[in-house]
Structure 1
Amino acid sequence: MPIVAEIMTSDVVYISESANLREARSALKKLNVRHLPVVGEGGVLVGLLTQRVVLAEVIKLVDQVGVSGLEDEEKRHSVREIMQTNFQVADPSMDLKVAGQYFLDNKHSCLPVIERGQLVGILTSQDFVKLCVGLL
């Protein structure tokens, strides 16, 4: 039975909970990713940041301060303020069918992968697309 560990991204990129919105937006763009796990002290997963949430916050800030004030305002806002703290995680040994069904049922597009309390990977809907393409 195929498991999460077989297709997850194990070289996971994350951001510190002390980072600001400007750093988060820059990281998403530079790394060309849509999800950033947020880690606290000791590398413990404390949140999840998505491109959608970051863009919504940026649009809100532009409405408030205009484009010219955006950079300064982004630096004043912490990742902690907008990160999701209520999210599901996967275990590396989780059955891929179970993980895939989670994506379908919840319309989410990523699952951080945790082993012994530590972030060891991330599973995204893109990983499933890659798997399907490989099988075709």
Structure 2
Amino acid sequence: MPNTTVKDVMNPKVVVAKPQATIKEAAEIMSQLRIGCLLVMEDEKVIGIVTESDIIGKIVAKKRDPERVTVDEIMTKNIISTTPDETLDEAAEKMVENKIKRLPVLDGGKLVGIITATDLISFEPKMIETLSELFSMKSQIGRTIAG
């Protein structure tokens, strides 16, 4: 696996949103496509990411109106990304260090795909040990919201 790169595992089909899209529109797309995030693009450039956790924590939990709040109001702006030539180990390390589960894949600044912790584990089950703290964080968040 040390020679396996992000481009070997990434999903080249990335669903994007415009910054002016409402949270309701974003949530509908995510629900219909059964995906956990949308990358936010403006002028061919990735300017952020909005995740299901963002929607739950910043909209639902705070009882904000998803028809009035736009994606750019809640998106994470300083995104951490990877490149097609990074190894899977390097991508996993970025996820763990930054406590994130998704990495946009940029080639010369151009969006070419996305890779998730689930992609890494599906490709290489041994990655679950490396990424386990991300998933334990997710379950803790779920318990906190439910409780």
Q: TM-score range by the shorter chain?
A: 0.7 to 0.9
Unpaired runs of at least 5, structure 1: 63-72
Within-5 A mapping of 1:66-77: 73-77=65-69
Please give the alpha-carbon distance, in whole angstroms, between the structure 2 residues aligned to 1:77 and 1:45. 20
- 1:28-39 mapped onto 2 (5 Å cutoff): 28-39=30-41
Structure 2 residue aligned with 1:112: 104
Alignment of 1:1-136 (within 5 A): 1-41=3-43, 43-56=44-57, 57-61=59-63, 73-133=65-125
- What is the number of equivalent residue pairs in this alignment? 123
Structure 1 residue 104: deviation in Å?
Answer: 2.4
Tell me how far 1:132 sits from its aligned partner.
2.2
Q: Detail structure 1 runs of 4+ shifted over 6 Å in the superposition.
A: none
Amino acid of the structure 1 residue aligned with 2:87? D
Structure 2 unaligned segments of length 5 or more: list them: 126-147
| Alignment check: 8 A CA contact 2:23 2:71 kept | yes
Deviation at 1:82, TM superposition (A): 0.2
Normalised by the length of structure 1, the TM-score is: 0.84
Q: Percent identity?
A: 29
More helix by share: 1
Q: Tell me the distance in 2 between the aligned counterparts of 1:101 and 1:76.
A: 37
Post-superposition shift, 1:106?
A: 2.6
| Matched residue type, 2:5 | I
Aligned position for 1:70:
none
Q: TM-score, normalising length from structure 2?
A: 0.78
Give the deviation of 1:25 after TM superposition: 1.0
Specify the structure having the higher radius of gyration (Cα): 1
